[in-house]
Structure 1
């Protein structure tokens, strides 16, 4: 089965729609952080980068009187739930392995505990921990990290470079097996 690449995921119209809301810069930056962290933690970098790229695709916008209302957004936040659903559906449409799609969607679901009445820190798997920490590394107060800009061509370039690194890792891993 051909590996679904980050570039494949990024180019899909569904990804484009939802990453416009959550921020292409944030998604691509977090994917890069997740790759590096995954290697250090012994986590599959393919799963980590896909989860990181898609982690905020459940975001939506809350406006009051024409202005972004961060407090209202935080109070009503369920973006991880919507994102997990969207990520799974997208990956299945792209032909991703069902177990990979499941692992990625659960990592998207658990990348934050902002919507839960309890914390997840001690309950996350290594993959989920990597995605959560990669997201935290790029966060800025009041959600400003979602508004940093990145041209789509720059995003594609960075994701292509990550895909090459993942391919190399997977080839090296196969040779060791």
Structure 2
């Protein structure tokens, strides 16, 4: 039994606000990649998909003269920090198990190293899955944040992924 589903997250006004800002199509793609990678890696697919969906909800819009400034973003952005905090608060508010909310938030925090000083961070399997999922969907110049998807198709994809997770979670819990 899951306390919070992807549909619960996806339809929440806070998620909708920030997914529109950071790229709904990208978030859904990363959630799907995270789900698939999690199954292959023995990682909880529910936590991976949730972290994948929410991984960029901390994005700030970096504009210069009315246009997206990718270099300004790369130089100044700390979206993973803000996103981890937003995701944790949202998950707790929706009733997620606090331990799982923390795991998801930490995976979001560590999905990118763009804001960290040069260092090697030892990531756990969930954190690696979310980072890899994000990297699989990246496009040069941050274009992955600007792919379009209509709301109905986005909702349909979330419903399909939620059903897959529900089906696979029974098998996953047997192996843990």
- Gaps in structure 2 of 5+ consecutive residues: none
Equivalent pairs, count: 176
1:150 alignment partner in structure 2: 149
Could you list the runs of 4 or more consecutive aligned residues of structure 1 that deviate by over 3 angstroms after TM superposition? 173-177
Distance (whole Å) between structure 1 residues aligned to residue 159 and residue 42 of structure 2: 22
Residue 78 (structure 1) aligns with = 78
1:29-78 Cα distance to aligned partner (Å, 9 max, x none): 01001111000000000000000000000001111111111111111110
* Rounded Cα–Cα distance in structure 2 between residues aligned with 1:105 and 1:43: 15
Deviation at 1:176, TM superposition (A): 6.0
Instruction: Find the aligned partners of 1:130 and 1:174 in 2 and give their Cα distance.
Output: 18
Q: Does 1:171 align with 2:176?
A: no
Q: C-alpha distance in 2, partners of 1:10/1:123? A: 30
Q: Is the Cα–Cα contact under 8 Å of residues 44 and 172 in structure 2 kept in the other structure?
A: no
What RMSD, in angstroms, separates the aligned Cα atoms of the two structures?
Answer: 1.4
Answering whether residue 122 of structure 2 is matched by residue 123 of structure 1, we say yes
Tell me the TM-score normalized by structure 2: 0.95
Task: Identify if the C-alpha distance between structure 1 residues 124 and 173 changes in structure 2 by more than 3 Å, giving closer, same or farther.
Answer: closer
Deviation at 1:3, TM superposition (A): 2.6
Give the TM-score of the pair, scaled to structure 1: 0.95
